Amino acid sequence: MKWIKAIATIGLLLVILLGAKTVENQGITVLVDGVEAGGQPFGIVDVSDRQLYVTVDFAAEVLGGEVFWNSDHKTAYIKKGRTCLMLPVGEGKPQVNGQELERGEPARDIRGAACVQLKSVSEALGYTFAWREDDREVALSSPPAQSGITRPRYADFHRQGMVSISYDDGCSSHYNLAYPLHLKYNLPASFNIVTGWTDTPGRVTRAQVLELSRAGFEIASHSDTHPNRKGRFFKDLTPEEANTEVLTSKNKLVSWGVPRVEGFVVPGSVYGDWLVPIVSQHYQYTRCLQGRKDATRPVESGRSCLLEYTPNLDRKNLPSFCVVNGQSAEDVIKLIDQAAAEKKWLILMMHKLGNDKTDYYTWDPSQMEKLLRYIASKPRSELLVVPLQDGVRFDMGLGDYRCQNITAFASTSQAAAGDKVLLMARGYDSSGVEVPMASGFNPRWTVVSGDAELVDCQDGTALLTAGGKGLVMVRCSDASDPEKYSDVLLTIKGRFW
Ligand SMILES: [Zn+2]
């Protein structure tokens, strides 16, 4: 506790030395959505890696989060909505909702104050970070207010018509244009990422991929390097190269914190029979263009893209209808109506959204909105909108993801009466893979014994307010299966003043 108080006190008075030069904030201003944040000194620029470090308290304040400390483990937590950051001081990687931040550095103890990289911490909370060298300004932009979509549950599936919207190549416009539209109409989608292309111009960033995943969207692999250039297609790779493509992209996505990477989207849709066992070793489904394994062919009526459910569904080679420039929303709506009428599954392949009329694969965002508005207007009993991974699971009768194990823990094991403690939980399936909060794990928090109150229980986190001293036991169970639970034990010390 002493450590916490020292941090809090020193944090407020923090003036940082950098080599021989001492400059308060070094003339740096932090703007949040254009408004200057706090007047107190807050940080240090590390010249070696050009990183701005700020105190944990300052970071939490400008990012609208709440700070919790664990003095035993020298770890700070910042909680904001459904996101929880764990920031170890000195060593250990920072984590966001239990997943390591690949590029994050541990918080540093700078003159007695725990300081974190403002860039990685703000991006982990969905902010956009920009450094303006000339003005010596950091400009942070808030993430969109709406935080996610709801996916249909298995109980909603009656073999009615289904539609899936599958975005290829991880284009920036998927984040900037498609994402807000899908939030607006509460429609799920699958984003198929070329992992080697992230953080390059015109493509989504890793932080954006994680944000999409946390908002409930499916993230699938579209290979690591998209081999369909210079006459060398995916089918022209050696088995070793193909295996590297499919595995590297999956491992990267998982290491960035995407909980379930179950789909592989064949780059260029040029597939070969011999690749099927290689891909299906690592994925639940494979998506192509028109279901042809060895050829691409021009977009046609789309008739062949209406999929029948089991036993005809071949999840190792799911065809999709490619929506291209020149088609109107009405053209696609006709196919959707057909899927609903015939009780079949239609998968739409989308590429970039934009107003470039010369690019074959670019589609007009206003047509996209028209299409999504129409899809959202259809009753669920006639048309279910699912990410591909859910469509495959539903068709196979696998139901929702099943949570077998829950891990629940508190930001600290000891607190004083009146303190607020952060609680976190995650669910895992029988093979130890995390179950997404949006489908399959529905955490419910209860105080089993002791004097404490739970507030602000949302998704996998809750806040506990300790009452009197003694032991408190809190349980996190799965609402759909109360037999699955995990308990957290806390010692509450009294206050004597
Ligand atoms: Zn592609």
For 397-432, write each residue's pLDDT tens digit: 988 888 889 999 888 888 888 888 999 898 888 877
In-domain check, residue 465: yes
Mean pLDDT of 234-254: 93
Final residue of a domain: which of 340, 361, 395? 395
**pLDDT confidence band for 138 (50 / 70 / 90):** confident
Under a CB-based contact definition with an 8 Å cutoff, are residues 184 and 211 in contact?
no
Which pLDDT score, from 0 to 100, does residue 21 have? 31
Domain count, the chain: 3
CA of 222 to the centre of ligand 1 (A): 7
CA of 171 to the centre of ligand 1 (A): 10
CA of 187 to the centre of ligand 1 (A): 22
Q: Return the structure tokens found at 105.
A: 């550095």
In-domain check, residue 400: no
Final residue of a domain: which of 90, 118, 141? 141
Residue 231 has pLDDT above 60, yes or no: yes
Kindly state whether residues 194 and 314 are assigned to the same domain: yes
Residue 180 has pLDDT above 70, yes or no: yes
Kindly state whether residues 53 and 118 are assigned to the same domain: yes
Which pLDDT score, from 0 to 100, does residue 144 have? 63
Which pLDDT score, from 0 to 100, does residue 299 have? 40
**pLDDT confidence band for 372 (50 / 70 / 90):** very high
In-domain check, residue 148: no
CA of 391 to the centre of ligand 1 (A): 21
Kindly state whether residues 312 and 214 are assigned to the same domain: yes
In-domain check, residue 127: yes
CA of 148 to the centre of ligand 1 (A): 26
**pLDDT confidence band for 50 (50 / 70 / 90):** low
Mean pLDDT of 231-248: 90
Residue 245 has pLDDT above 50, yes or no: yes
In-domain check, residue 311: yes
CA of 145 to the centre of ligand 1 (A): 30
In-domain check, residue 146: no
Mean pLDDT of 271-289: 90
Note the helical H segments in 185-237.
Answer: 206-214
Mean pLDDT of 189-208: 96
What would the DSSP string read from start to end of 277-328? HHHHTT-SEEE-SSS-SS-------SGGGPBP-TTS--TTSB--EEP-TT--
CA of 223 to the centre of ligand 1 (A): 9
Mean pLDDT of 196-225: 93
The residue behind tokens 């669920």 is 380
Residue 353 forms beta bridges with which residues? 363
Kindly state whether residues 274 and 172 are assigned to the same domain: yes
Domain, as residue range, for 423: 405-493
Range of lowest pLDDT (26-40, 70-84, 109-123, 469-483): 26-40
Kindly state whether residues 357 and 389 are assigned to the same domain: yes
Kindly state whether residues 317 and 356 are assigned to the same domain: yes
Who has greater pLDDT, 188 or 294?
188
Which pLDDT score, from 0 to 100, does residue 44 have? 62
Final residue of a domain: which of 363, 395, 427? 395
CA of 283 to the centre of ligand 1 (A): 18
Range of lowest pLDDT (32-36, 284-288, 289-293, 295-299): 295-299
252: domain CATH number is: 3.20.20.370
CA of 269 to the centre of ligand 1 (A): 8
CA of 220 to the centre of ligand 1 (A): 12
Residue 336 has a CB neighbour count (10 Å cut-off) of 21
Range of lowest pLDDT (58-67, 153-162, 212-221, 390-399): 58-67
Mean pLDDT of 431-441: 76
**pLDDT confidence band for 185 (50 / 70 / 90):** very high
Which pLDDT score, from 0 to 100, does residue 446 have? 93
Kindly state whether residues 199 and 98 are assigned to the same domain: no
CA of 56 to the centre of ligand 1 (A): 41
CA of 434 to the centre of ligand 1 (A): 27
CA of 193 to the centre of ligand 1 (A): 9
CA of 432 to the centre of ligand 1 (A): 31
Kindly state whether residues 374 and 430 are assigned to the same domain: no
Kindly state whether residues 411 and 367 are assigned to the same domain: no
Q: Which long-range contacts (CB under 8 A, 24 or more apart) does 75-81 make?
A: 75/411, 76/107, 76/114, 76/116, 77/411, 77/422, 78/121, 78/125, 79/422, 79/461, 79/463, 80/125, 81/147, 81/458
433: domain CATH number is: 2.60.40.10
Mean pLDDT of 15-35: 59
Residue 409 forms beta bridges with which residues? 424
112: domain CATH number is: 3.30.457.10
Kindly state whether residues 205 and 242 are assigned to the same domain: yes
In-domain check, residue 302: yes
CA of 320 to the centre of ligand 1 (A): 13
Under a CB-based contact definition with an 8 Å cutoff, are residues 365 and 354 in contact?
yes
Which pLDDT score, from 0 to 100, does residue 201 have? 96
CA of 351 to the centre of ligand 1 (A): 8
Kindly state whether residues 341 and 424 are assigned to the same domain: no
In-domain check, residue 294: yes
CA of 355 to the centre of ligand 1 (A): 19
CA of 184 to the centre of ligand 1 (A): 26
CA of 400 to the centre of ligand 1 (A): 29
Around ion ligand 1, residues with a beta carbon closer than 5 Å are: 168-169
Kindly state whether residues 324 and 426 are assigned to the same domain: no
Mean pLDDT of 429-442: 77
CA of 342 to the centre of ligand 1 (A): 29
